Structure 1
């Protein structure tokens, strides 16, 4: 069971090594990288390539680790008891399975995506250590222990918004997705826009990387954003010549796909103003 990338996902050699190492070690794969570098999509592509179902748990700032195991609805049970509902006699009627329980109970091996783990409280990763290590957990309301039928392939993503605990990191295989270089980006673009003209692609990517390298940029455009930009350029039937910028017109064509805040737009406008001699 080896992952080598897919037709729709360009995986670098070091990334495929990381995925396969995590599978071999039976450790969660912790994937970090800039937003838009394909971390979430990686889990979906691994599942597709290996022919496995995927279970996705998207973490929010309010998410608690317990929700990944199960939630007990005591309020509904109290209400039903007041109404004389016979369902109250079986506590299982009020237990809702979480994503980890779904993965553990699956009749086939699954890929379990825990997406953007760094969004949650700092204690969130630590609260899952034992469950991810032992692949089991206890349901106190019923007295049962839920054990994984098949150890899922666990892929955890992080945008590096906060540091993760050392105890959690020790249990993971780590990989940082570096931002694609020009040649890798061309391969990625070829997957999405196989008929794009070389001249347009070269001009667009040259401009894109120049923007990313600009000092003072608050938010660098990502892989997903350059793909959106190229889609717009093709829809507008623009050419490499159309992308040329003069000193008095510093903003790139259709810049709203690349620049996502007013500070960065104003910076380009100031550059154009200075190029005009401040007039």
Structure 2
């Protein structure tokens, strides 16, 4: 199985190589990068390219590793026992399968996405070490061991909010998605907006990349935000001339799609004020 770029996803050569290396090694692929660089979408496109079903586990700050394996609903069993329900004699009726169990028990190979693993508690990755390494776990309530019939393609994403343990990193194939250069951005835009007028794209990309290079920006606009901005530009039917900023202005038209916090807005306003003063 070989992953390649798809009609809706442009993968640079180093990312393609990383995915295929992880598949060959049968190791989880740990993907890091700025928010909005397509880490989550990568898993969906890998599944589409390889023709595999996908199971998605979205990690939150309250997520526990055990939830990915299974959960035992003792409260429901107690209630059923009080009501005299016959189901109570089979403890398996109260075991809820987690995403890892679903992936292990799937009839064929699947892509398992563990999305934003760094949102969870620091112990979360450690609690999954053996399960991801051996592709098996024990269900203590029933005494059975669940083993993966077909080793899934595991893709793990992180926004680098927390450092991941060395023992966990050792078991992964790692790739950092660098922010695309101008040529790659053009290819990405062409996938989503084929036929976009070159002059309009040149002006939009120029302003977008300038925003990212401004020193002190707390949150640089991402690829997904560029696509949102272009969608608005097309909806408003703006021309390259409409996009050009007046002298002394720093923020582009419809900048709310690109600048997402008040600190950065204030920064750009200060820069614009300074530019106007110097232009007097």
TM range (shorter): over 0.9
Deviations 1:82-125 (A, max 9, x none): 11111110101100000000000000100000000000011100
- Output the CA distance in 2 between the equivalents of 1:232 and 1:16: 31
- Output the CA distance in 1 between the equivalents of 2:163 and 2:260: 25
Deviates more, 1:204-213 or 1:268-277: 268-277
- Output the CA distance in 1 between the equivalents of 2:164 and 2:180: 25
> Aligned runs of 1:1-279 on 2, under 5 Å?
1-277=1-277
Give 1:272 shift. 2.2
Deviations 1:39-64 (A, max 9, x none): 00000000001100000000000000
SS at match of 1:249: coil
Give 1:269 shift. 1.6
- Output the CA distance in 2 between the equivalents of 1:248 and 1:30: 43
Give 1:247 shift. 2.9
- Output the CA distance in 2 between the equivalents of 1:270 and 1:124: 42
Give 1:277 shift. 2.2
SS at match of 1:7: coil
Does structure 2 retain, via aligned residues, the 8 Å contact 1:200–1:239? Answer: yes
What's the TM-score, normalizing by structure 2?
A: 0.98
SS at match of 2:277: coil
- Output the CA distance in 1 between the equivalents of 2:202 and 2:275: 25
Structure 2 unpaired stretches of 5+: none
SS at match of 1:60: coil
Does structure 2 retain, via aligned residues, the 8 Å contact 1:92–1:142? Answer: yes
What's the TM-score, normalizing by structure 1?
A: 0.98
Aligned residues: 279
Q: Following TM superposition, where does structure 1 have runs of at least 4 consecutive aligned residues deviating by more than 3 angstroms?
A: none
- Output the CA distance in 2 between the equivalents of 1:177 and 1:121: 24
